[in-house]
Amino acid sequence: MTRHGGHLAQGRLSSDVLSLDRGYPRTVDTASNLHDPASRRLLDPFRFLLEWVRDPVGTAAVAPSGKALAALMIRGIDETTGTVLELGPGTGVFTHALVARGVAESDLTLVEQNPIFARLLQQRFPRATILGIDAADLSHAQTAGTGIFGAAICGLGLRSMDAMQVEAIMRAAFARMKPDAALYLFTYGWRCSVPDEVLTRLGLAAERVGATLRNVPPASVYRLAACAVAG
């Protein structure tokens, strides 16, 4: 069961996930007359705030990330990377940036636990694989292509999770990645949001790749990879 009380869904977003949001308001996309995709995205801060009010810990931010942070997060990924895993895409700020950079939509697997966001992603990225599951359950899920990813980006609020949960998520993600693949994550804190003891247990190294003040709040990006290939 998800934190929203629905059953986990695997593969392309299933009707299980679509039915999870019974009792929630329909997404604003559906209710509005805005047809231009860019105009629809103008409503994303409002959507995000609503979800944060409903579930502050799970949503972990009051607003979607900005374009500067998105550019930093996806800098090491392009059309040659192959399949890409995204954890916690929310309204899809990083996802849009990946597609704009040349990553094929069909090469994307998006893991989003919130059913409102999962349905929005399904509308926006119909060729991507959307998994409406807890990222820690990724090892049991069916994913795009071979299921072994060339890179991953993580938008989860790891700082609001305990170390065991962070370890379970990182373990599940790296188990589905190529040996030399990197995972990029951002944090609003001063240190990498994956604790040192978790990095050590998983044989990972973290490298800070940059920071941006042009985000609310300002954020840093870290690149995680297996120790032998880190750096």
Please state, in angstroms and rounded to a whole number, the distance separating the CA atoms of residues 157 and 2: 17
Please state, in angstroms and rounded to a whole number, the distance separating the CA atoms of residues 206 and 222: 6
List the strands of the sheet with 129-131, edge to edge.
129-131, 108-111, 84-87, 149-154, 177-187, 219-226, 204-212
Binding range to ligand SAM, per CB under 6 A, among 31-39, 88-96, 143-151, 189-197: 88-96
32-to-26, 63, 114, 127, 220 alpha-carbon distances in Å: 10, 20, 21, 23, 35
Considering only residues 9, 17, 135, 158, which one is a binding residue for ligand SAM as defined by CB under 6 A?
135
For the window 40-79, what string marks contact with ligand SAM as x by the rule CB under 6 A?
------------------xxxx--xx--------------
Q: In the window 178-197, what residues touch ligand SAM (CB under 6 A)? A: none
Does 134 participate in binding ligand SAM (rule CB under 6 A)?
A: yes
Cβ closest to ligand SAM, residue 74 vs residue 225: 74
Please state, in angstroms and rounded to a whole number, the distance separating the CA atoms of residues 80 and 52: 35
Does 155 participate in binding ligand SAM (rule CB under 6 A)?
A: yes
Helix, strand, coil shares, percent, the chain, to 5: 40, 20, 40
Question: Min. distance of Cβ 60 from ligand SAM in angstroms?
Answer: 4
CB 28 within 8 A of CB 178: no
* Total number of residues that touch ligand SAM (CB under 6 A): 21
Does 89 participate in binding ligand SAM (rule CB under 6 A)?
A: yes
Residues at the contact surface with ligand SAM, assessed by CB under 6 A: 58-61, 64-65, 88-90, 93-94, 111-114, 117, 134-135, 155-157
